[in-house]
Amino acid sequence: MNELELKYGCNPNQKPSKIFMRDGSDLPVKVLNGKPGYINFLDALNSWQLVRELKEATGLPAAASFKHVSPAGAAVGLPLSDVDRQIYFVDDPGELSPIACAYIRARGADRLCSYGDWAALSDECDADTARYLKLEVSDGIIAPGYTEEALEILSSKKKGNYNVVQIDPDYVCAEQEYKDVFGITFEQGHNFFRIDEELLANVVTENKELPDQAKIDLIVALITLKYTQSNSVCYVKDGQAIGVGAGQQSRIHCTRLAGSKADTWYLRQHPKVLGLQFIESIGRPSRDNAIDVYISDEHDDVLAEGEWQKVFAVKPDVLTAEEKKAWIATQTGVSVGSDAFFPFGDNVERARKSGVAYIAEPGGSIRDDNVIETADKYGIAMCFTGMRLFHH
């Protein structure tokens, strides 16, 4: 099949709409269930590239959770801890497959932003992944294959309308790519740049130590950034993006946004949050929203009399600003990647407040000396990759 007609483009008024191959060849994707739209396919094709490259770079199964053509989260398939299972609402007590763990961790980076996501898997979707995904609010999934049981589970989601797309894992796109904007065609070479451990060789700080896990985390950050709308910054820990700041006009706002999301991810593990007692009838999205408000400065919105009873079985104590600050201060071993250079040391100052110990950025700022000096002040190991990763 050379082309696929879509319901409409980005918005309902943008018709007609379709995806097709300029060279007349067959599309590398098949729709196994549902009817994906224009934005669905943008998410699908960007997210597939991310997880494929992440698998190639690390050797581990990889998954991503996309919203509006940027990842809300991405992760490799490392096992879940007991705390992971609790904060990601994993009800299955058994051992889960690596690809299921990858998706659960990818979605867990920012569960609010992952609401209604597009899921991407580097490996065949199995029943473990499908069972978890069926419980979440999601628009669709792309993977190189599906087990019979997984396809049956996913095809029953959303009253049978859940979007399931299969992609040819051997497909390689053309070297040149085109995009029309306002009737004018842009052309550029596809970004085939390979991100791997060799990119981390130029450590410019006094601290030269990059443990193996930090190298994996920095690779996760950089590949995630390669498919995130620029400007962008990504915080990663233990093979999982924990904060993505996308599409900001200034670098420091990227760093603050991603750092705030990383703090929120970590605060979900605070004993007071783990101890929240919800009413039985509450759904997963409502739990996520309640937790997000509870740990924010607007906590009274869910703790006021007449409000907490709608969410909690027992009224929780406030998680104070002092408690939050003290808890965030215990976060360690976080890695940060940036898709372009840090122009000032303030980015490092903000990053270290969220437990950052390792940084990868292109370098090339006229203030590189100041950025390096700031990293040295906190004993952070920072490497210059020499490669910008803008994506628009």
Q: Which of 28, 50, 354, 6 is nearest to 225 (CA)?
A: 50
* 226 included as an active-site residue: no
* 67 included as an active-site residue: yes
Among residues 40, 46, 231, 347, the one annotated as catalytic is 231
Q: 164 in helix, strand or coil? A: strand
* 190 included as an active-site residue: no
CA distance 148 to 155: 11
C-alpha distances (whole Å) from 386 to each of 49, 145, 160, 351 are 22, 36, 47, 20
Cis-peptide into 362, omega within 30 deg = no
Strands 117-121 and 138-143 come out as parallel
Burial degree of 185 (CB within 10 A; 0-12, 13-18, 19+) = exposed
The torsion angles phi and psi of 332, rounded to 5 degrees, stand at -140, 165
Round to the nearest angstrom and report the end-to-end CA distance of the chain: 28
Among residues 67, 261, 270, 324, the one annotated as catalytic is 67
CA distance 287 to 148: 32
Burial degree of 291 (CB within 10 A; 0-12, 13-18, 19+) = buried
* 231 included as an active-site residue: yes
CA distance 117 to 97: 21
Structure tokens at 229: 């709308």
Among residues 68, 272, 353, 391, the one annotated as catalytic is 68
Structure tokens at 340: 């372009």
C-beta separation of 288 from 136 below 8 A:
no
Among residues 13, 159, 208, 392, the one annotated as catalytic is 392
Residue 290 CA from chain centroid, whole number: 21
CA distance 264 to 234: 14
What residues are labeled active site?
A: 67-68, 231, 392
